[in-house]
C-alpha cells in the first residue's frame, strides 16, 4: 500500500515500511499532484522521478528548478513494469 502525505512544504512517501521525505518550496509544493499519485497507486506501482533537487540529511529538497515525472514513458520504467 502506498501513502502520500502532504503537509505544508513536505511530502512523505511510504510503502512497505520504506519512506522518503521530500520538501518542496513555494509554488512547486502546491503543484505536486498527490491525489493523482494515490489514485494510480491503487491500481499499479508508481514511479516518481525527481530532478533538480538537493539531497539533505534524510530528505530531498526542491525549489522552482525542481521537476518530477510520474510513470513516464522511459525505457527503464517500462522494463520495471514488464517484470
Q: What's the CA gap between 83 and 79, in Å, rounded?
A: 7
Are 11 and 49 in contact, with CB atoms under 8 Å apart?
Answer: no
Per-residue model confidence as pLDDT tens digits over 6-29? 555 666 666 666 777 777 777 777
Q: Is domain 2-82 annotated with CATH 1.10.10?
A: no
* Beta strand spans in the chain (E): 2-7, 10-15, 18-24, 48-56, 59-70
Give per-residue pLDDT as tens, 36-72: 888 888 888 888 888 888 877 777 777 778 888 888 8
Q: How many CB atoms lie within 10 A of CB 21?
A: 15
Q: Which residue has the cell 510520474?
A: 70
Q: Confidence band (pLDDT; 50, 70, 90) for 1?
A: very low
pTM of the model: 0.69
pLDDT at 2 over 50: no
Amino acid at each position: 500500500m502506498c501513502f502520500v502525505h502532504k503537509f505544508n512544504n513536505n511530502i512523505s512517501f511510504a510503502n512497505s515500511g520504506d519512506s522518503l521525505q521530500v520538501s518542496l518550496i513555494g509554488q512547486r509544493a502546491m503543484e505536486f499532484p498527490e491525489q493523482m499519485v494515490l489514485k494510480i497507486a491503487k491500481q499499479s506501482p508508481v514511479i516518481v522521478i525527481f530532478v533538480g533537487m538537493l539531497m539533505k540529511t534524510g530528505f530531498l529538497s526542491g525549489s522552482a528548478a525542481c521537476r518530477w515525472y510520474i510513470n513516464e514513458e522511459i525505457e527503464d520504467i517500462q522494463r520495471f513494469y514488464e517484470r
